[in-house]
Amino acid sequence: MDHDHQHHHNSQKHQAQKQQDRLTERLEEKALHGHEQAMHEDTSGHPPHDEHDHSGHGHGEHGHDHHRMMIEDFKKRFWISLALSIPVILLSPMVQHILGFTLDVPYSMYIAFVLSSIIYFYGGWPFLTGLVEEVKKGAPGMMTLIGVAITVAYLYSSAIVFGLEGMDFFWELATLIVIMLLGHWIEMKSVLGASKALELLVSMMPAEAMLIRDGETVRVRIEELQKGDLILVKPGEKVPADGVVEDGESHLNESMLTGESKPVKKTIDDKVIGGSVNGNGALRVRVEHTGKESYLNKVIKLVQDAQKTKSDTQRLADRAAKWLTYVALTAGFGTFAVWLLLGQDLAFALERMVTVMVISCPHALGLAVPLVVAISTAVSANNGLLIRNRTAFENARLITTVIFDKTGTLTQGSHEIAAVVTFDKTVDEREMLRLAAAVEQNSEHFIAQGILRRVKKQGITVPPAQSFNYLPGKGLEGMVEGRDVKVVGPNYLREFNIQVPASEAEEGVETVVYVLTDERPVGYITMRDQIREESAEAIRVLKANGIKNLLLTGDNERVAKSVSDKLQMDGFLANVLPHQKQEKVKELQAKGEFVAMTGDGVNDAPALAQADVGIAVGSGTDVAAETADIILVNSNPQDIASLILFGKATYRKMIQNLIWATGYNVIALPLAAGVLYNQGIMVSPAVGAALMSLSTVIVAINAQLLRRQIR
C-alpha cells in the first residue's frame, strides 16, 4: 500500500471511531451508576420474584447483604427447629414402636403439640408467608405446596390431640420442616456462591487513588477522580481507573478482567484498565473513564443483565415448574379422594396426600436452570466471555459454520515487519531501519507505525529528519544527518527506472517498501499482518467438533488464500466490503447453516446482527458492540472455540438438571400416592422431604461441576 492512502486511511479511522463512540455512549446509558449500586444489585442469578418466586429466600433486589441475612435467618430457624424436633420424634408412638422402646412421659401428646406448634409457626414461617405471596399473585408454586403440606399435617395432628380418632404425625411435620429449611439453606448458599465471581469483580477497584496535583501526590477517594486527572500507580497497587500511561513502564496483571493470564507490558500511550494489578514499575496515568463509564462497570452491568435475562431454556423450566405445581395439587387431592373411596381411614388418606404434595415440590426444578445461568455467566466473565444474549449463548451448540473476520481476529491487525533485506554491504539492517524510522517518524501510516515499533523494540535511537516531504502515491523523503533518505514503494522505482535485485516478498500478501540514500537503493523492508499464534489451535478445535470455518475479508484473494491455507481453513471470501458481509451471512443461512459471525463490532455490525450468534471481538475498553450477542474481551480466536464448547456444556447441564428434577417427580409421585401399597412399598412424608432435598442438592452440585467445563 502506498503512502497516498494516508488521508483515506485517516478518514476511515475517523468514521470508525465515531461509530465506536456512539456505541460506547449507548452502553454507558445502560451502565451502572458507580460501584455502590453494583453492590446493591441482585446478582444471585435468580429471576425476579414475579417470574419465579422463592418467597422467603431473600433473592430480591436488596442484593448480597439481604441475601446473607436471609441465609443466616434460615440457618437459625434450622438449628432451633432441629433442637425442638428431637423430643417430638422421641415422643412419637410410631417412632417408639419402630425403634422398639417406650417413653412414659406425662402429657406427652400435649408436649409434642406445644413443641410442634413452635416448629410450625417459627420454622415453617418462610413457607407460610411464601404460600400467601404466591396465592396473592395467583401463581401457586413450590411455597404453596410446602405450606399446604405442613398446614394439613399440623391441623390434622392437632385435631387428634384434642379428640379426633387416629394417629398424629407431629414427627413427620417436624422432620419435614427441618429438612425443607436445610434444603433452602443449602440452595441459598449455592446461589450466593454462583454470584461470588461477580461480587469479586465489584470489589476489584481500590477505594483510593494517588492524585498528582501541582507536582504533589494527594490521596483521594476513587469517586473524586475526574476525566483528565493525572494519577500515580505504585508497584503492586491496583489501577484505580481506566486511562492512558503518560510516563513509566510496567507489566500489568489483567487476568481477572480479560482472562489473559500473562502480565501485559504497558508503556507510554498504552491503555490501562481500572482494577488491573500493577507489577514492578511505577506509572503515571491520565484518567479516561471513571465510575459508570469504566470498563469494569460495563463488564459488571453486562454480566448482571445476562443473569437477569431469560433464555428459551429458562422459560421452558418456568413452564415445567408451573405445570408441576398444578399436577402436584391435583394429584395430592386426587390421592386423598381415591384412598377414602377405596375405604381407607382419614389418617391414611391424609398422610398419602401430604406425602404427594411434599414429594412433588418443584424445588429442584426451580433451582435447575437459574443456578446454571448464574454460574455459567460468572465463569464466562472471568474468562473474558461476556454474554449479552443468553439464548444465543445456549444456541452455540447448534452452530455449524463460524465466519471469521480476518484482521484483528485471526491476525494481529497491525502490520509488522516480516523481513529486512539489505543490498549494500556497508549498510546493515539496524542502520537501514534507523534511517527509515527517521523519515517515517512524522507519519501516522501503518507502514510508519510498524517500522517505529520495530526500532523501539530493538532499542535503536532515531535521529531527527529535516526537509520532511510526502511523495504522493510513492512514499516519504527527508534529510537525515546530511543524507537524502527516501522510503518508497515499487511505483517510485518504476517511474525513475531504478533497478533493484528481485524481491522475495510474497506478492499480493506482503507490503514492500524500499530504502534509498542519495537515490541509491540500500535495501527493502517487507510488512504483513501477522497471524496470531492461537489461530491455528482455534481452527483445529472447531474442525475436531465438526464445525466449518470460513475467512471473511476485504483484502485481496492472495492475502485471504495465504491466511486460509496457512491455518488449513475450510474456505475464504475475499474482497468483501462491509455492507456485503451481511449478504454473505444470509446466503449461508439460506443453505441451512447455523452461522456464528465474529467481527470487531463496528463495520461488522449488520453481519453480527444477521448471524444466528454474533460474537464481537475487541480487547481493552471497546467492550460494547451493541449488536453482538457475546463479546470476547480478548481478540483471541481460541476464545471462540472455548465459547462454543462452553455453550454446549452449559446447555447440557441445564437439560441434565431439568431431566433429573422432572424425572425424579415422575417416579416419586406414584410411589408417594401409594400405587405400590399392595406390594408393601410406601414413602412416608419425612422420606419424601428427604428425597426432595436430596434432589435439590444433586441439581446444585451438578450445576457447580460446570466450572470445570470452560476451556
CA separation for the pair 211, 232 (Å, rounded): 6
Q: For residues 700 and 374, is the Cβ–Cβ distance under 8 A?
A: no
Secondary-structure percent of the chain, ordered helix, strand, coil, rounded to 5: 55, 15, 30
Q: Which residues, 6+ apart, have CB-to-CB distance to 11 below 8 Å?
A: none
Q: For residues 452 and 441, is the Cβ–Cβ distance under 8 A?
A: yes
List the catalytic residue out of 2, 405, 622, 639: 405
Cα–Cα nearest to 244, from 218, 219, 270: 270
Taking phi over 0 as left and psi of -120 to 50 as alpha, with beta for the rest, 321 belongs to: alpha
CA separation for the pair 265, 250 (Å, rounded): 6
Q: Are strands 385-387 and 630-632 parallel, antiparallel or unpaired?
A: antiparallel
The answer to whether 104 is a known catalytic residue is no
Q: For residues 410 and 563, is the Cβ–Cβ distance under 8 A?
A: yes
Q: How far is CA 407 from CA 20, 513, 535, in A?
A: 17, 21, 12
In the block, residue with C-alpha cell 486460509: 564
Helices 170-194 and 108-118: crossing angle, nearest 10°? Answer: 20
Q: Which residues, 6+ apart, have CB-to-CB distance to 5 below 8 Å?
A: 445
CA separation for the pair 694, 186 (Å, rounded): 11
Q: How far is CA 559 from CA 4, 362, 403, 419, 582, in A?
A: 21, 57, 17, 17, 21
CA separation for the pair 22, 36 (Å, rounded): 26
Question: For the chain, what is the radius of gyration of the CA atoms?
Answer: 34
CA separation for the pair 561, 572 (Å, rounded): 7
CA separation for the pair 296, 38 (Å, rounded): 11
Cα–Cα nearest to 695, from 55, 323, 187: 187
CA separation for the pair 452, 606 (Å, rounded): 35
Q: Are strands 230-233 and 216-221 parallel, antiparallel or unpaired?
A: unpaired
CA separation for the pair 709, 711 (Å, rounded): 7
CA separation for the pair 661, 317 (Å, rounded): 10
Tell me the β-bridge partners of 285.
231, 245
CA separation for the pair 373, 703 (Å, rounded): 9
3-class DSSP state of 685:
helix
Backbone angles phi, psi at 57, to 5 degrees: -85, -30
CA separation for the pair 441, 249 (Å, rounded): 21
C-alpha cell at 399: 452452530
CA separation for the pair 576, 560 (Å, rounded): 11
In the block, residue with C-alpha cell 475487541: 618
Cα–Cα nearest to 639, from 538, 520, 498: 538
Task: Compute the half-sphere exposure of residue 516: CA atoms within 13 Å on the CB side of its CA.
Answer: 22
3-class DSSP state of 597:
strand
Angle at 547 between CA 541 and CA 550, to 5 degrees: 95
Contacts by 19-27 with C-beta closer than 8 Å and gap 24+?
19/602, 19/603, 19/605, 20/601, 20/602, 20/622, 23/601, 23/602, 23/624, 23/625, 23/626, 24/622, 24/624, 26/624, 26/626, 27/298, 27/623, 27/624, 27/626
CA separation for the pair 130, 180 (Å, rounded): 13
Q: Which residues are catalytic?
A: 405
